[in-house]
């Protein structure tokens, strides 16, 4: 008979969109690893709604509080998930560390690199605690399979990568564009930073670190922030037998009449394309891939919580470390800084 896993008693700080749409659906599948013991939100309505939702699933009462310090002072909580506006990450992480709680915080790690370094400093001061960032792209199987295909020479020698993420965020209907801290952002880049760290994380994991060659940005719709579009030219260092590549990442959140979410890598004998969770390998016929494979993973949210649990219960280093998340943020902020020199507001 397999040994029973240790149940980690989890507190959730922040009961907004991420908690409801991303984290709880994953945690609801991991009742053999986590028990949500308490939730916190500064507005009572959200706290009550989220606590009730979890309590109904568990068939028991799940308490809520309005002050995260009260949650952190609760002795029967082992770890916390922090899902707050990014400018509050440092403050709440410092309090969680002082309270002796393991923690996973939503990306980006901080609002700027100065605060990112302070968050990293907390890890050095509290070596017995697990601290990680909820970067779900690090756990998506399709990117691991893509890197493996490149190492196995599936498209010959890779030389160029393009990632295109185009969509239309309508403030009238998109719930993310209705949160004031996102549209009136106190961190550079707004939606571009929030999404950009995802792409940087996946690219760095597959291809090595990124250095900026050039960038330009635009603000097409000021209603969703000071910046909503970025084109970034970069070079990768190469990684694990994959050579350095040239690349471009284009992010647009005010795109009318077109939408795209695709990652393409060109090689000397073919190309590899990722769309959502599907990997296609092409040779000479652009209409007929030589292979098509689907890697449905639910976005990697379950896998990141499994990693969090394993790090807490075994002492194994998590995949999505604070250090990696800090490097992700540093890379996208460098691109944004260069792009701001050519940032028009369009009418």
Domain that holds residue 123: 8-133
Of 133, 152, 180, which closes a domain? 133
Of 78, 112, 133, which closes a domain? 133
- The whole-model pTM stands at 0.94
Q: What is the pLDDT of residue 3?
A: 53
Tally of structural domains, the chain: 2
Q: Are 26 and 301 in contact (CB under 8 A)?
A: yes
Q: What is the pLDDT of residue 347?
A: 43
Q: What is the pLDDT of residue 198?
A: 98
Q: Where do the H-state alpha helices sit in 19-130?
A: 24-27, 44-58, 68-72, 89-98, 113-125
| 108 and 180 part of one domain | no
Neighbours of 317 (CB within 10 A): 11
Question: The domain spanning residue 45 has which CATH number?
Answer: 3.40.50.720
Q: What is the separation, in whole angstroms, between the first and last Cα of the chain?
A: 66
Q: What is the pLDDT of residue 180?
A: 80
| 156 and 73 part of one domain | no
Question: The domain spanning residue 234 has which CATH number?
Answer: 3.30.360.10
325 part of a folded domain: no
| 144 and 285 part of one domain | yes
Of 133, 153, 177, which closes a domain? 133
| 172 and 285 part of one domain | yes
- 193, two tokens: 């930073």
| 128 and 156 part of one domain | no
Which of 67, 60, 96, 92 has its CA nearest to residue 79?
96
Residue by residue, pLDDT tens for the chain (347 residues) are 345 679 999 999 999 999 999 999 999 999 999 999 999 999 999 999 999 999 999 999 999 999 999 999 999 999 999 999 999 999 999 999 999 999 999 999 999 999 999 999 999 999 999 999 999 999 999 999 999 999 999 999 999 999 999 999 998 888 888 888 788 888 889 999 999 999 999 999 999 999 999 999 999 999 999 999 999 999 999 999 999 999 999 999 999 999 999 999 999 999 999 999 999 999 988 889 999 999 998 899 999 999 999 999 999 999 999 999 999 999 999 999 999 876 555 44
| 255 and 278 part of one domain | yes
Q: What is the pLDDT of residue 1?
A: 38
Contacts of 218 (CB under 8 A, 6+ apart): 227, 228, 229, 343, 344, 345, 346
| 95 and 243 part of one domain | no
| 126 and 206 part of one domain | no
Q: Where do the H-state alpha helices sit in the chain?
A: 17-18, 24-27, 44-58, 68-72, 89-98, 113-125, 141-151, 180-183, 191-207, 301-314, 322-339
């Amino acid at each position: 008979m397999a040994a029973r896993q240790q149940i980690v008693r989890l507190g959730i700080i922040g009961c907004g969109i991420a908690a409801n749409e991303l984290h709880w659906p994953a945690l609801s599948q991991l009742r053999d690893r986590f028990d949500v013991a308490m939730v916190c939100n500064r507005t009572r309505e959200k706290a009550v709604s989220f606590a009730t939702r979890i309590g109904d699933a568990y068939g028991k009462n799940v308490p809520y509080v309005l002050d995260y310090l009260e949650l952190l002072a609760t002795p029967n909580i082992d770890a916390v998930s922090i899902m707050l506006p990014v400018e509050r990450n440092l403050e709440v992480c410092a309090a969680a560390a002082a309270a002796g709680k393991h923690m996973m915080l939503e990306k980006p790690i901080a609002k700027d690199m100065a605060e990112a370094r302070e968050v990293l400093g907390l890890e050095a001061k509290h070596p017995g605690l697990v601290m990680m960032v909820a970067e779900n792209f690090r756990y998506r199987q399709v990117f691991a399979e893509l890197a493996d295909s490149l190492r196995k020479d599936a498209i010959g020698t890779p030389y160029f990568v393009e990632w295109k993420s185009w969509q239309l965020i309508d403030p009238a209907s998109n719930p993310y564009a209705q949160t004031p801290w996102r549209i009136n952002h106190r961190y550079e880049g707004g939606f571009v930073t929030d999404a950009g760290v995802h792409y940087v994380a996946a690219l760095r994991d597959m291809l090595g670190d990124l250095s900026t060659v050039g960038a330009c940005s635009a603000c097409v719709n000021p209603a969703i922030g000071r910046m909503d579009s970025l084109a970034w030219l970069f070079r990768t260092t190469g990684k694990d037998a994959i050579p350095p590549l040239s690349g471009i990442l284009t992010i647009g959140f005010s795109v009318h009449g077109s939408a795209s979410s695709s990652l393409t890598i060109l090689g000397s004998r073919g190309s590899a394309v990722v769309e959502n969770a599907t990997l296609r390998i092409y040779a000479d016929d652009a209409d007929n891939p030589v292979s098509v494979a689907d890697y449905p993973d639910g976005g990697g949210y379950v896998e990141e919580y499994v990693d969090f649990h394993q790090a807490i219960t075994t002492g194994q280093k998590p995949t999505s470390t604070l250090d990696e998340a800090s490097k992700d943020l540093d890379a996208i902020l460098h691109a944004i800084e260069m792009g701001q020199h050519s940032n028009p507001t369009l009418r």
